[in-house]
């Protein structure tokens, strides 16, 4: 099957709307609604574009390596990678919604739980799921650290970060004593000793944030 046969319906629809076809990020688009430097057919001149378009149309259709994402079925707060153009690096965000063909993510790395306003979202031109990358990273993630929190400043900052960024339970232990790591009053009673903090979840995102927070403090090597 040729590309022009596979995408016959889309090509006809674009033509009926008075446009030429463009391929952007693996998707067929109306040339009028895209930037030239983002299109696979961009060659510098109109003639170059026509040659590349004709070559693509008469080439065999190749099934994409990664299946297209059905964004209508993606759960809110799913980790995704986003960017505004091909020249930009991928930013890490959390999925908020899909509306009118656009993917929206929570701003500044927030989630539905931490965002102050439901409207605190931004749309992105390019987006993809980050699941595989996160699983690869989390092979080295830990759920337990022993920290030195004998500085009151460190102790206060640690409690604030854990409380505001980790929705699940986090325990702090010394010997037989176990306290809530989100409680300043509880943690201060054992913080004169190295404290073992443990996150109680299987959520990969929470574990990753837990690792990022703990890495800011003095880790006691076992």
* Closest to 195 measured CA to CA, from 178, 216, 207: 178
d(CA 68, CA 4): 19
Q: What's the CATH code, domain 141-219?
A: 3.30.1340.10
* Closest to 165 measured CA to CA, from 124, 105, 108: 108
pLDDT of residue 69: 84
pLDDT of residue 67: 66
- Structure-token pair, residue 52: 């590349």
Q: Which residues of the chain have pLDDT under 50?
A: none
Task: Say how many C-beta atoms besides its own lie within 10 A of residue 18's C-beta.
Answer: 8
In eight-state DSSP terms, residue 2 is B
pTM listed for this prediction: 0.40
Task: Please say whether the beta carbons of 51 and 40 come within 8 A.
Answer: no
d(CA 175, CA 154): 21
pLDDT of residue 101: 80
User: Residue 178: in which H helix or E strand, if any?
Assistant: strand 177-180
pLDDT of residue 160: 93
Tokens 């590349």 found at: 52
pLDDT of residue 100: 81
pLDDT of residue 139: 55
pLDDT of residue 136: 53
d(CA 141, CA 153): 26
């Amino acid at each position: 099957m040729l590309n022009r046969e596979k995408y016959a319906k889309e090509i006809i629809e674009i033509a009926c709307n008075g446009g030429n076809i463009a391929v952007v990020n693996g998707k067929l688009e109306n040339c009028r609604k895209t930037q030239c430097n983002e299109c696979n057919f961009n060659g510098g001149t109109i003639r170059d574009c026509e040659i590349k378009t004709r070559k693509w149309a008469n080439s065999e259709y190749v099934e994409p390596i990664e299946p297209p994402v059905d964004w209508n079925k993606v759960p809110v707060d799913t980790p995704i990678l986003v960017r505004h153009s091909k020249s930009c690096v991928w930013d890490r965000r959390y999925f908020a919604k899909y509306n009118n063909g656009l993917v929206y993510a929570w701003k500044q790395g927030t989630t539905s739980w931490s965002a102050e306003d439901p409207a605190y979202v931004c749309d992105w031109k390019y987006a993809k799921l980050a699941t595989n990358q996160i699983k690869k990273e989390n092979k080295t993630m830990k759920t337990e650290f022993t920290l030195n929190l004998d500085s009151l400043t460190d102790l206060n900052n640690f409690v604030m970060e854990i409380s505001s960024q980790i929705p699940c339970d986090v325990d702090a232990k010394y010997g037989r004593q176990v306290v809530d790591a989100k409680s300043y009053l509880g943690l201060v009673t054992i913080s004169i000793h190295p404290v073992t903090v443990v996150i109680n979840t299987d959520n990969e995102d929470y574990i990753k944030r837990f690792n990022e927070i703990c890495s800011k403090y003095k880790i006691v090597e076992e």
